[in-house]
Amino acid sequence: MILDGAAIASLYRSHGHVVLRRARTLLGSEPDAREVLQEIFTALVRNPDAVRSAGSIVGWLYQATTHHCLNLLRKARTGARVLELHVRPGLSESGGPRGEAAAEVRRLLALLPEDVAAAVVYHHLDGMTHAEVAELLGCSRRQVGYLLERAQGLWDRAEQTA
């Protein structure tokens, strides 16, 4: 079978929601989430082998979406720091304590190293067990526990210095 543009278009229809739903949660911005959806599948057109070798298409999409969104969060944080502005909440976020708390989580994710941030996303935002997180990160369950402890420690320090 050829995984050509037509096949990837079909994959977009059948699996695109896996990207859009999580990008919305991670970014809190509908336009940004839709952009991630488009970019991930456009990238597949350039490199269809990326998903053909994956054991699980859903797993591969989880990894690609998380990586993409964390990069965007880090870029937003960097841009805001350069401009000496606060990072604005996502366009779809309501105001109030819940919206601010959600924005705080995204600011934290932008601060954390890639592997630590990914562990936080998978465990806390996707509800995965340590075993499931380990499968996506390609590490041991013990390592997942260490990454999550590190995340909480970094978060506590960030709150203290805020």
Partner 1 sequence: MNLTATPLSWNACLSALRLDRWMMGELGAADAETVGTHVSSCAACSAAVAGIRGVREEVRALPLPAALGRPAPRRRIPGAAVAGLGLALAASLVVVLRPPPAGERSKGGGLGLTMFVQHGEEVRRAAPGETVSAGDAVRFAVSTPTPAYVAVLSLDPTGKASVYFPQAPRAAQVPAGTEVPLPLGTRLDTTTGEERLLGIFCASPVELEPIRLGLEQGQDGIPLPADCQGLRWSFVKR
* Helix boundaries (H) for the chain: 5-27, 30-46, 49-52, 57-82, 96-111, 114-120, 130-137, 141-161
Q: Binding to partner 1 by residue 157, rule CB under 8 A?
A: no
Q: Does 104 bind partner 1 (CB under 8 A)?
A: yes
Residue 41 Cβ vs partner 1, minimum distance, rounded to whole Å: 6
Q: What is the DSSP letter of 41?
A: H
Angle of CA points 40, 45, 49, to nearest 5°: 95
- The Cα–Cα gap between 110 and 62 comes to 18
Q: Assign 3-state DSSP to the chain and report helix, strand, coil percentages, each to 5.
A: 80, 0, 20
Judged by CB under 8 A, the residue of 29, 62, 118, 144 near partner 1 is 62
Q: Which is nearer to partner 1, 56 or 71 (CB)?
A: 56
Please identify, using beta-carbon distances, which residue of 15 and 74 lies nearer to partner 1.
15
Q: Tell me whether residue 43 is exposed, middle or buried, using C-beta atoms within 10 angstroms of its C-beta: 0 to 12, 13 to 18, 19 or more.
A: middle
Q: Is 125 in the site for partner 1 (CB under 8 A)?
A: yes
The stretch near partner 1 (CB under 8 A) out of 18-26, 74-82, 84-92, 139-147 is 18-26
| Chain positions contacting partner 1, by CB under 8 A | 1-18, 20-22, 25, 34, 37-38, 41-42, 45, 51-52, 56-59, 62, 98-99, 101-102, 104-105, 120, 122, 124-129, 132, 136, 148, 151-152, 155, 159
